[in-house]
Structure 1
């Protein structure tokens, strides 16, 4: 008999499902394109070694920089906020998992009721004896204790798919954290190298102030001997003042660079420990790009987009399952009596068992809207995934080209600095022998200073390119 009831229920479920499935809105999902070029250049590359697999402690060997990164990974507020978002996503997985398990609860209660004698209930209580021919107690007390369970049978996988979507979003949040770590490491390294460059520019300015001050004293002596006019003295003096002013501009930039690092590290403004002496001799690391398809496994932002895409596909299944009937079972078992001493008697046992089959039939606009919205979000997620891949490829290609061009540029600028440095001595000698105008001396000194500034700037750009290619390849989070 019970088997027949079960079979009839299942048959009714299938009939209702067939009826409702006919009217599920038709939408088109987008298949993501994972194809990438074979290499970052026009030549064929077969070396699959990628710098992205190098740990950041091995990539950045400066102990001061390592200390800053270590502190930031512990204290950075934005990173800690993201870690809490991961905990939220983990709790969402636990919540979704609980939805397809039975909900079991226990309860106990007591109440008292005084029914009017001139009502149906009161008349029945007056004329029916409950125990040993005794009249019902008045007012009538009621005590009970029960165990109750409710369970939605996940016929269409709606609840399981919702849990799997939550797991994918949890994994996406972890990859989001990794991507934040990658960017945090790169930002600290870039700011650190900028700070070293500013220190070297400040040293260069101080050296030039001394050189220009000595030149000013020489011009004053020449003016006393009537070899030059007061105009030459004023022009040399103006150049000294201009360079001194530049000194304070650089000092302000140093303060801002230090505080930018302090913010990333999660501490209040303080001096940043560093060594500036070796900046001119720093050499960028040799970078191995591997092949573009490795970006899909190495870049945290691409893996995050991939997890979000997987979740969006599962959301479609969840939304589609809402068109089908849902089957739920509920039951309870307990004791109930008007006297606590009767609760242990078998006659006080109560139980319920019920099954419910429900399917949306009319006014399903909310379900249709959720289903259409889930499909649109899946298309969005697919485009976002493709965009992340394209962006990663372009970032790597740009940085690789930048590394090559900066290397050539640095070599030429170094030669320019040597030539202009020699021209300073030549112009000074010519000026002393009255074979050169003082303006030639001033212009030569200014050009030499600018070229040295450019050389330091190019060195900083080289180091930044080394950092950015590491980030672009997906390194820094491990």
Structure 2
């Protein structure tokens, strides 16, 4: 091969310019079986192209005669050049990916949950058992009548409707803040007509009528290099989740209020029954004492004391009926409709009181409280606002373009030659704004500090609510046991006092005092009984119970709804 001579036929002429250099040129143009013909008739420019050490894949002046050489002789070079072209392609691809890599950056601070300024565990030691906060309200409140009232309240209560409307508003704001992340496309139709004066040298002013109509598709997109738009969207998302937790807090509070109203109704029912029974007993006593007075065996003082005791019981009944009516009106306001509750005994079956609480109740159970979760969501939103405020210091890059038709008359709008288009990239770098951007950043940081303090205050308030409910539940149980013993003692005292009076061994004042104390003790026992159940309801609400299985917050990559 090294000693073989190669000849090139350029427009029918023989050229031995390659001489004995087959390694550089013979690979491209071996003409042992085929000639290389060119349309330039073998000019110097053509020979310089064909005989170059690094020729292009295709001759600058191609002709049909070269197709065979291109297919057979140039195929190895084509593969080699393709390999060499890969590295510039990779470099171009890397350069093209720089904007997308920049778009992934964010200036928002990393979220760190503030340390909870509360003890690690509650001081009260309670028996082990399932967590009360993980039980749905239908399983917790077992009375069918109470469940019906709660269902009606969830459907009709105006506070729930207001909270739900706020959730819908926040969801819409989230959608609004997420829309600028995507290109905006609009159909635009315009028409204008006017007259203007043109002054030409030597011709004076000339009036010219201007008419123009256009129809086009307009597109615009702000490239979110620095994460400003994404941080605004994230802030709106966390605000939406905070309003959702606020709605859950309203619902939890509503369930507790309805339950307490129902328990008060039961308490008033039992206290009214006690008052009515006491009134009947005192009426009988007054009738007996009056008969004694009439026959001369009793004193007028005893009769007036019996009348006073009866009047006190009647006043107590009237007050109870008043309070019962007020409570029923409040319950009707919560439920959203008139309330009719069948009379019945006040029993612990109204709530699932037999459920025990974990030993010491670790304070991380507070993370289930909706107000604590909402405060943390607002802290996340404040961090996102800081990222948006920081990104505002960097250039704003946007692309705007349009394509359509334009004409001076409406009937010629879609004729040939009326096409029009525009493309306008814009970059805006803030230079001077009198401290507006710095002020926005300072405001965002101050709002973050406020959100941190609000979160810590909410945690402290939640911890106090739970601690108070635990103390009440434990102490009320002791008070009920003591009051039961006192009621038994007062009942025996009243019996003995009545027996002494009947035997003439004491005045009626002793009976009066014993019956009054017994009535007060029985009323107190009913109040404590209701308060004990209410303390369980308060603990249930303080731990955020009532609504389990809530949706988890979407991650940062979730698309706007």
TM-score, length of structure 1 as denominator length: 0.86
Look up the match of 2:176.
95
Deviations for 1:50-109, whole angstroms, at most 9, x for unmatched residues?
111111111111111110000000000111011111110111111011112222211122
SS at match of 2:424: strand
Look up the match of 1:40.
122
Look up the match of 1:395.
465
Deviation at 1:195, TM superposition (A): 1.0
Are residue 474 (structure 1) and residue 556 (structure 2) matched? no
Look up the match of 2:15.
none
- Cα pair 2:465 2:542 within 8 Å, conserved: yes
Are residue 323 (structure 1) and residue 393 (structure 2) matched? yes
Deviates more, 1:102-111 or 1:454-463: 102-111
- Cα pair 1:193 1:460 within 8 Å, conserved: yes
* Counterpart-to-counterpart distance in 2, 1:470 and 1:452: 28
Are residue 51 (structure 1) and residue 121 (structure 2) matched? no
Are residue 187 (structure 1) and residue 254 (structure 2) matched? no
Deviates more, 1:141-150 or 1:403-412: 141-150
Q: Comparing both structures, which one devotes a greater share of its residues to helix?
A: 1
* Counterpart-to-counterpart distance in 1, 2:373 and 2:172: 21
Deviations for 1:154-184, whole angstroms, at most 9, x for unmatched residues?
1110001100111111111111111111000
* Counterpart-to-counterpart distance in 2, 1:436 and 1:329: 103
Q: Could you say if the C-alpha distance between residues 114 and 215 of structure 1 is closer, same or farther in structure 2, counting changes exceeding 3 Å? A: closer
Deviation at 1:437, TM superposition (A): 1.7
Q: Could you say if the C-alpha distance between residues 140 and 420 of structure 1 is closer, same or farther in structure 2, counting changes exceeding 3 Å? A: closer
* Counterpart-to-counterpart distance in 1, 2:175 and 2:124: 49
* Counterpart-to-counterpart distance in 2, 1:261 and 1:64: 13
- Cα pair 1:299 1:475 within 8 Å, conserved: yes
* Counterpart-to-counterpart distance in 2, 1:400 and 1:50: 14
Look up the match of 1:112.
193
Deviation at 1:118, TM superposition (A): 4.9
Deviations for 1:32-56, whole angstroms, at most 9, x for unmatched residues?
214754421266x895831111111
Q: Which has the larger radius of gyration?
A: 2
Q: Could you say if the C-alpha distance between residues 280 and 111 of structure 1 is closer, same or farther in structure 2, counting changes exceeding 3 Å? A: closer
Q: Could you say if the C-alpha distance between residues 451 and 283 of structure 1 is closer, same or farther in structure 2, counting changes exceeding 3 Å? A: farther
* Counterpart-to-counterpart distance in 1, 2:495 and 2:366: 56
Look up the match of 2:304.
234
> What are the equivalent positions in structure 2 for 1:129-140 lying under 5 Å apart?
139-140=209-210
Q: Could you say if the C-alpha distance between residues 314 and 283 of structure 1 is closer, same or farther in structure 2, counting changes exceeding 3 Å? A: closer
Q: Could you say if the C-alpha distance between residues 394 and 113 of structure 1 is closer, same or farther in structure 2, counting changes exceeding 3 Å? A: closer
* Counterpart-to-counterpart distance in 2, 1:117 and 1:322: 44
- Cα pair 1:289 1:473 within 8 Å, conserved: no
SS at match of 2:426: strand
SS at match of 2:221: strand
SS at match of 1:336: strand
Aligned-residue RMSD, C-alpha: 3.1
SS at match of 2:417: helix
Deviation at 1:123, TM superposition (A): 8.7
Q: Which runs of 5+ in 1 are unaligned?
A: 15-23, 127-137
Deviation at 1:116, TM superposition (A): 4.5
Are residue 157 (structure 1) and residue 238 (structure 2) matched? no
SS at match of 1:347: coil
Q: Could you say if the C-alpha distance between residues 175 and 282 of structure 1 is closer, same or farther in structure 2, counting changes exceeding 3 Å? A: closer
Deviation at 1:149, TM superposition (A): 1.6
Deviation at 1:265, TM superposition (A): 0.6
Deviation at 1:310, TM superposition (A): 0.6
SS at match of 1:387: helix
Are residue 272 (structure 1) and residue 340 (structure 2) matched? yes
Q: Which runs of 5+ in 2 are unaligned?
A: 1-90, 549-561
- Cα pair 1:30 1:382 within 8 Å, conserved: no
* Counterpart-to-counterpart distance in 1, 2:478 and 2:187: 77
Are residue 73 (structure 1) and residue 154 (structure 2) matched? yes
SS at match of 1:332: strand
TM-score, length of structure 2 as denominator length: 0.73
Q: Kindly indicate whether structure 1 or structure 2 has the higher relative contact order, using CA contacts under 8 Å at least 6 residues apart.
A: 1
Are residue 261 (structure 1) and residue 331 (structure 2) matched? yes
- Cα pair 2:141 2:352 within 8 Å, conserved: no
Deviation at 1:284, TM superposition (A): 6.3
* Counterpart-to-counterpart distance in 1, 2:528 and 2:258: 19
Are residue 286 (structure 1) and residue 354 (structure 2) matched? yes
Deviation at 1:345, TM superposition (A): 4.8
Q: Could you say if the C-alpha distance between residues 352 and 124 of structure 1 is closer, same or farther in structure 2, counting changes exceeding 3 Å? A: farther
Deviation at 1:289, TM superposition (A): 3.6
Are residue 427 (structure 1) and residue 497 (structure 2) matched? yes
Q: Could you say if the C-alpha distance between residues 32 and 176 of structure 1 is closer, same or farther in structure 2, counting changes exceeding 3 Å? A: same
- Cα pair 1:402 1:465 within 8 Å, conserved: yes
* Counterpart-to-counterpart distance in 2, 1:338 and 1:99: 34
Deviations for 1:405-437, whole angstroms, at most 9, x for unmatched residues?
111111111111111112112111101112112
Deviation at 1:473, TM superposition (A): 1.3
